[in-house]
Amino acid sequence: MTSTPYKEFELRAVEAGVSAELAHSMYNVVRDSQEHDWMLPLKVWTGDEGAMIARALKNPTIMAESCTLLFATDGLMYDEGQVHAGISNLKRRELEAWIFNR
């Protein structure tokens, strides 16, 4: 397996106590935020490794839901992904508030 900064982040998250499944979801989000050139606030959010891991440890369910939303919508760019992921508009607003209000 090739090591990338994203895979190293995933490993550090697991070592810190984040479940392997959630760490992998976070890996996908961190990778896509950079490689798909997401909006700056999301790139800043995913770029703060320590804060992401701490938030995942404190609120793993919300972090998992946020990762699902971000991955499904390619960084909040495509609403149809939200629909396919089964995320309501109310839930999306709650998750966006959690993401953007550190």
**From CA 100, how far away is CA 50, in angstroms rounded?**
16
pLDDT in tens, 4-34: 788 999 999 999 999 999 999 999 999 999 9
pLDDT value at residue 53: 97
- State yes or no: pLDDT of 36 exceeds 70: yes
pLDDT value at residue 3: 65
pLDDT value at residue 101: 87
pLDDT value at residue 102: 67
Share of the chain above pLDDT 70, in %: 96
Cα angle vertex 19, ends 29, 9, to 5°? 45
3-state secondary structure (DSSP) of residue 75 = coil
**From CA 56, how far away is CA 62, in angstroms rounded?**
8
